[in-house]
Chain A
Amino acid sequence: MTAALALDLPALAAALLATLACGTLGNWLVLRKEAITGDAIAHAVLPGLVAGFLVTGTRSMPAMFIGAALAGVAAIALSTLVRRATRLGSGAALGIVFTAFFALGVLLLETQGARQVDLDPECVLFGSLETLFYVAPQDAPWHAGVPVEIWTLAGAAAVAIAFSAAFGKELSSLAFDRAHARLSGTAPRAVERALLAVVSVAIVASFTAVGSVLVLALLACPALIAAPHARSVRGQIVLSVAVGGALAAGGYMLAAHAESVFGARSALNAAGMIATLLALAVPCSHLVRAALSSRSA
């Protein structure tokens, strides 16, 4: 493996796997008009992540996973409670709860010495794609050198795809007609809770590598890019992941090689670059659709 590939390949793999995990599930959130729920969960998991870290004292993945998933589910439940107890609307209820959770997470991070390990508030926001390296092991099989983030993301992507394939029918009938879905034997509550849990898993897996800004972009943008062109839900998912993956790879390369591309002083933040491209592609995709349909009309 050449030196350049060893530098870029782990980060590229992480970005693509995160696109696969979050981009697939984002389609269900967008169909349900819940794109912002992903953002709320992405902020709310922080205290659980830090608590899992503090309890075990290491960056042990299972402990951080359990803590973060619990925090994500608790935040959604609490915001439902706040919405019912007040007349504030769902946006304000989500805002009150997820800022409180995020603030608690920042407080824990800064006071409990978690900063000594590479879990600092800045990389929670902007990710640390740039720090994923592959070091070829001396006397172990090749895969021993793959960073743990990659394995976690691969697992999350597999869960996201399996969940979407297994419950695709239920999820789409719920998204389009909740009453009909209930009558035809789907348990809406159970499927909705399962979706939230799987989204939490994808968010937590993506979190440490790509940061909250890119998680939010991956949950909302690919689905919204594909929506005007797709004829079926399955088509929308496939298209969203394909376009999202291309933009993720392109954005990473632009940022990592900014010195030669833009003449920048150093490499730029890759997660931010990918998020910017994804967001810009949403209105562009709608413009393309409008131009195509006016030509055929």
Chain B
Amino acid sequence: MSGDAIGANTLGVLAGCMLFGALAGAVGTFVLARRRALVADVAGHAALPGVALAFLAGEAIGLGGRTAWLLLLGGAATALLAAWCVPALARLRRVGNDGAIAVTLAGFFGLGAVLFSVVQSHPAGSQGGLRTLLFGSAAAMGRSEVVALAVLATATLALLLASFRGLTAVAFDESFAQSAGLPVRALDLLLTVLLVATVVAGMQVAGIVLVVAMVITPAAAARALGGRIARVTATAALIGAATAALGVVASRTTTGVPTGAAMTLAATAAFLVALPSGRLLQRRTA
């Protein structure tokens, strides 16, 4: 990846990042409604062991460690496993939801740290390896990574739109959804799959540690502005896309700032603006 190739790619990277931001905002609206904000945090951190295993597998079978689709697949596998572990552990006596989240996050991220150290000591991993995946780096994205991100994000967004009504019913009125004969458990699982797909799509850009911020903060800002679910989802997608773009631009103009940190701070700023604005809007309409 030479500097010139990145220069020619800049618009593509920007478009890919904005697509991810829009997806994260839209999915985040449902994640917040289902009170799953911290499961999003678990899913992000739990992608690390899968990504590291995928890197080592890619090297072993001769595809190369940084094969984009292989990393996405590995990250999604362990993130899904962790999302399944949380409710399973929460059923144990005296563990509870809170303890289950803490234990799952610690276990998967701990295993990720161990495997990360294996990758860093691997001859192919010593030059950079997976370091950019921790806090995100739009600048380190090559053409194949942008394509993988765009395909995954588009497919996930399409799936979200196709199941919009069912997800809305389950997220906002579970008992109604149940009595209306909707497959509540299947829709819940679908939301988990959408969340995991979003998180792994964003890990190159926003980073494993901070990707959760792009899922919850733009959606929280959109909710503060108020409105019905379709409008909140659209607003969250817009805020997500805008803050992702801001993050990419800021991290490219200021050397050394990881994209994930810049995006998170941009999303936090949007939330801080939206909170009082939403109050004003509601007071005016009331």
| A binding-site residues for B, Cβ under 8 Å | 30, 33-36, 38-39, 85-86, 88-89, 91-92, 94-96, 99-100, 102-104, 106-107, 110-111, 121-122, 125-126, 211, 213-214, 216-217, 219-221, 224, 227-228, 255, 264-269, 271-276, 278-280, 282-283, 286
Task: Contact check, B264 vs A100: say whether CB atoms are below 8 A apart.
Answer: yes
Task: Contact check, B96 vs A107: say whether CB atoms are below 8 A apart.
Answer: no
Out of A89, A107, A264, which one reaches B37, CB within 8 Å? A89
Interface of chain A, main secondary structure = helix
Task: Contact check, B121 vs A265: say whether CB atoms are below 8 A apart.
Answer: yes
Q: How many residues of B contact A (CB 8 A)?
A: 58
Closest-by-CB residue of A relative to B32 is: A92
Out of B40, B106, B122, which one reaches A279, CB within 8 Å? B106
Interface of chain B, main secondary structure = helix
Task: Contact check, A283 vs B213: say whether CB atoms are below 8 A apart.
Answer: no
Task: Contact check, B110 vs A125: say whether CB atoms are below 8 A apart.
Answer: no
Task: Contact check, B114 vs A255: say whether CB atoms are below 8 A apart.
Answer: yes
Task: Contact check, B96 vs A33: say whether CB atoms are below 8 A apart.
Answer: yes
A269/B116 contact (C-beta < 8 A), A96-B271, A227-B94 known: yes
Chain A residues closer than 8 Å to B94, beta-carbon distance:
224, 227-228
Task: Contact check, B113 vs A272: say whether CB atoms are below 8 A apart.
Answer: yes
Closest-by-CB residue of B relative to A87 is: B223
Interface string of B45-85 (1 = CB under 8 A from A): 00000000000000000000000000000000000000000
Q: What's the least CB distance linking A98 to chain B, in Å?
A: 9
A275/B212 contact (C-beta < 8 A), A92-B37, A99-B217, A104-B265 known: no
A191 to B96, CA, bound (A): 23
A34 to B98, CA, bound (A): 7
Interface string of B84-103 (1 = CB under 8 A from A): 00000100111110110111
Task: Contact check, B92 vs A271: say whether CB atoms are below 8 A apart.
Answer: no
A78 to B213, CA, bound (A): 16
A107/B103 contact (C-beta < 8 A), A271-B110, A272-B110, A273-B110 known: no
A265 to B125, CA, bound (A): 12
